[in-house]
Each structure stands twice: as C-alpha cells, then as structure tokens.
Structure 1
C-alpha cells in the first residue's frame, strides 16, 4: 500500500499521484463514475443544448439585434444551469477522491473499497463542501477585485481547504484557515504542482473534448446542418470524462497536503514511532519516510 504520510519533493508527488491512481483505478474510477458521473452528465447535456443555441446564433451575425441575441445566449439559462451542475461535479470529484483516500489509509489490506462505502463517506461533506466552494469563490473574487496578485495568491492558498475538510473533519472556517497556514511558506511549491497537473489533465481531457470541438468547426463551416444530438452527446461525454480526470489533480493535492503536514508537524513520523513493535511499517512508492527534500526550490 502507498504511504501518504511522507514528505515528497515536486517530482515524487506527481509520480505518487500516478502510482496511486494506477493502483486504485478500478475502485477510485468506479467511485468517480457512479457518484460524480450522473451530475456531470446532466451538466454536460444541458450545456450541450446551450452550445447548439450559441452556434446557431453565431452563424447569422448580420445585424445588431442578432449580435445582442448572441451575447445573450452566452449567459442563457441553459448554459448557466449546465455550469452549476459542472461546478457541483468538480466539488464532488474532490470530495470523492479525498474520501476514497481517507478510507484507503484506514484499511489494513489491499481489499477494494466499495462505491457504497465511499458514497456513505462523501455524504458527510457534500453540504460543507458546497458552502466551502462558494465561500472560496467569494474570497478569491474579492482578492481579484482588490488587485490581480492577491487574487492569484488566495486562489492557491485555498486549494487545500477541501482536503482539510475531509482528512481532518474540520468545519468550513477552520478548513480555510488551516489551508492558508499549510500553504504559507510553500506557495510556489503548491502553485507549481497545481499548474503542472492542470496541464497534464488538460492534455488527457483532449480525448473527450476534441470530438465536440471538431463537430463545432464542421458546423461553423457549413459541412453539417443539424448537430443538436451529436453536440449534446459529445459535450456530455467531455463533461463526464473531464470530471473523472480531475480526480488525478485531487490526488496530487492530497499528496501535497500530507507532504506539508509532514514538513510542518511530522505526524507520520510520530505515528511510525508509536507503531514500532506493533505492526510493519508500510512503504511508499518513492522510498521510505525521511527521504523527502525541502518543498521550496525542488523544481
């Protein structure tokens, strides 16, 4: 089993994330598909229908009235509702991934974790997770209103709040405060990991987003006349696929969280000392505890 309570450098966190997802691809993948999938699917279908309306408006921008109608479709009810469902899917992806990791750390065997067990765990955090996301959005938005740089800083400083919410069972305010505390002094390390994982996930997501993009291009060129069903189908597929792939970024955030916990508090070392003589110590995917290097400047 993979050891989470361990300090890791930049590359080790990425390697550990892929190792964990590969090892648990069935259990974690099914949990994301069954719990997050339906929400992402609804959001994708609604967004796909809104996308068709937008493409129809874009084909006939030959008057000021139609131009106004085009911009109105950008913020149409269907598109906004679709965005709400997709944002909810994003929140659920983090909660499912962190809940799965929490259950994984608690078990003492390689037995697969059931989706029903993960769902029972996730239900405890849905309300607080949604409110945490709303509060984070307001805080980040306020930071951008003041100046761009504070907004960027806050957006990174809040990334570990969902992990704190699940792993430490803290309330919303405590999760936000704790996230700021953990990221303090390690901002560049956290930002770098998030940036690299975002690029990796975006590249992998192209498998799901390219069909919808190609279809929109063919429609705009007049090659295809009616793409309502296909656009809705491909947009829904991209929504579900993107939500599942976000589990990889959430896994990297979990390894970042535990690495910072070890750097600042050393709870894993204390736990290992307490367990000497009781049970064998589990080894991580990138060496034993104590081999991690300092967070800042590792990359």
Structure 2
C-alpha cells in the first residue's frame, strides 16, 4: 500500500519541515512533471525577461557590451519596460506554481494519495484568474505595508501566506480568502512566522548552492580581466555569466515548491488547531471500520 502523508493534523515546526521535504521526495516525479508542463512555460518567460532586463540595464547606464549581438545603448524607457516584463512574468509564474501544487495537494488529500493530473489541470484552468487576482492583491498589500514600515509588510506577508490554500481548499473568493486568513492566524502569528522564517532560511541556503557557479565566474573574470573590464564594466555581463545566472534563477524559482508545500502544511495546521477537522474525520473512519 502506498505511503501517504496526513495533511489534516496539527504539527509543530519540526514536523512541518520534515513533512515538507518528505512530501516533495515522495511526489517529486508526478508533481514535478506538472510543474514543468504548466508553470515551466511561465518560468521560461521569466528567464527571457531577466536576460532582457540585464541587457536593458547595462545599456541604460551608458555601458556598451560588444559581446551582445547587435548591442547598442538602450534608453531608460526600455529598462523600465524590462522591469515590468520581469515582474509580470514572475507574477504569472508564482500564480501558476501555487495553483498547480495546491490543486495537486487538494486532490492528494481527497483521494488518499491518488492524484489524477488531468483533474489538477482542469481545476487550475477554472481557477487561474482568481489565482492571478489574489496574487496581485497580496503583492499590493505587502508592498504597501513595507513602504510605510517594514514591520507591517512582514506582518501581512505571514498572514497572507495561507490565502492560496484557503482559496483552493475551501473554494472561497479573493476577498473572502484574504479576510479569512486574518481570522485563521489569530493567536498563531508568532509560531507561523517562526515556521516560515526557518523554511525560508533553508530555501535560501539550498537556492544559494545553484548560484555559486555564477558568483565564482564573476569573481574569476573580475580578477583575470581587470584591465579589460575597467575600460568597459559591461564586459562582466557576457553570455557565460548570463547563462549561469539564468540557471541559478531557474533553480531559485523552482525551489519555491518548498515554500508552497510548507504554506499548505501551515494552513492545515492552523485549520486543525481551530476546527479539529482531521481528528473528527479519523474518529468517523474508525467508527465505520468497527461497524
């Protein structure tokens, strides 16, 4: 019999960490296939936008890198367009990533570990616009809170971390999901913050491993070609650096899977602490087996 993870139960910080990586290890093949097929397309757009951003930024500072085919000094307007393209493609990617993983987990929970990828894709298509809207509104709230003071931004980020799970697991609309997230986390903000902080640190350490090659190349090239680069700092951003940087970025974005699974476990933990849904289901299943 296939080993499954019980999502509907209370967990301490250590349990959330261990079950996050356990779930990814157990489901990496079917879940990873969906991630590559659906958010992977948006990730390609993110990488292309990033390459365009580097090219635009280098040009906008008056640097001319001859290693770029057809290179020319670009305008500040082009750099602004590049930033919007990068932010927009990232917003789409995160919406698709959260939707893919959380609809997968929803199916996993409802079907005792058996997931139909076609059903996940169908549910994602039906809910994609709500995911975009929720992601966009969450970003506005967090950024607005961070602008006035960093602390409100952190507070809102922790509270809103469960909104995607609330929307998908409970079929709530955008505003209802955001409003309910404040009720769900009431009295549990600090432990949720600590959990997300630890998971975030682990994510950052793992993601940093994939960025080591670009940093090594950057420093090696800076020392070996100092004279050439001093004449044109844009020489640092050649195709090798961009390729290594793009690989690191792709790994960084895909590793966000860790954060998404962790937020799902946080949601179920908070929900179980308040409503004991999983405990009641376990009692009912025991009663049915004894009849």
Hey, what does 1:273 align to over in structure 2? 283
* Residue of 84, 88, 91 corresponding to 1:84: 88
Hey, what does 2:269 align to over in structure 1? 259
Deviation for aligned residue 1:197: 1.2
Q: State the TM-score, normalized to the length of structure 2.
A: 0.82
* Residue of 115, 118, 124 corresponding to 1:116: 118
Q: Which has the larger helix fraction?
A: 2
2:54 is aligned with 1:45: no
* Residue of 166, 178, 183 corresponding to 1:181: 183
Q: State the TM-score, normalized to the length of structure 1.
A: 0.80
The 1-side partners of 2:86 and 2:278 are apart by 42
The 1-side partners of 2:122 and 2:223 are apart by 49
2:205 is aligned with 1:203: yes
Deviation for aligned residue 1:260: 0.9
Hey, what does 2:15 align to over in structure 1? 12
> Is the alpha carbon distance of 1:13 and 1:29 closer, same or farther for their aligned partners in structure 2, counting shifts above 3 Å?
same
> Is the alpha carbon distance of 1:236 and 1:21 closer, same or farther for their aligned partners in structure 2, counting shifts above 3 Å?
same
Q: What RMSD over aligned residues (CA atoms) do the two structures have, in Å?
A: 2.9
* Residue of 19, 25, 28 corresponding to 2:28: 25
The 1-side partners of 2:289 and 2:239 are apart by 57
Deviation for aligned residue 1:74: 9.7
Any unmatched runs of 5+ in structure 1?
62-68, 281-299
The 2-side partners of 1:77 and 1:44 are apart by 15
* Residue of 191, 194, 201 corresponding to 2:193: 191
Hey, what does 2:156 align to over in structure 1? 154
Q: Is the 1:42–1:85 contact (alpha carbons within 8 Å) kept by the matching residues of 2?
A: yes
Deviation for aligned residue 1:87: 2.6
Deviation for aligned residue 1:84: 1.6
Q: Deviations over 1:17-66 (max 9, x none)?
A: 111111111112222122111111111122123224434666959xxxxx
Residue 238 of structure 1: SS of its match in structure 2? helix
The 2-side partners of 1:24 and 1:279 are apart by 28
Any unmatched runs of 5+ in structure 2?
65-72, 230-234
> Is the alpha carbon distance of 1:85 and 1:121 closer, same or farther for their aligned partners in structure 2, counting shifts above 3 Å?
same
Deviation for aligned residue 1:256: 0.8
Deviation for aligned residue 1:145: 4.4
> Is the alpha carbon distance of 1:154 and 1:169 closer, same or farther for their aligned partners in structure 2, counting shifts above 3 Å?
same
Residue 170 of structure 1: SS of its match in structure 2? coil
Residue 276 of structure 1: SS of its match in structure 2? helix
Q: Deviations over 1:89-118 (max 9, x none)?
A: 12222211111100111213x55x354332
> Is the alpha carbon distance of 1:279 and 1:117 closer, same or farther for their aligned partners in structure 2, counting shifts above 3 Å?
farther
Hey, what does 1:290 align to over in structure 2? none
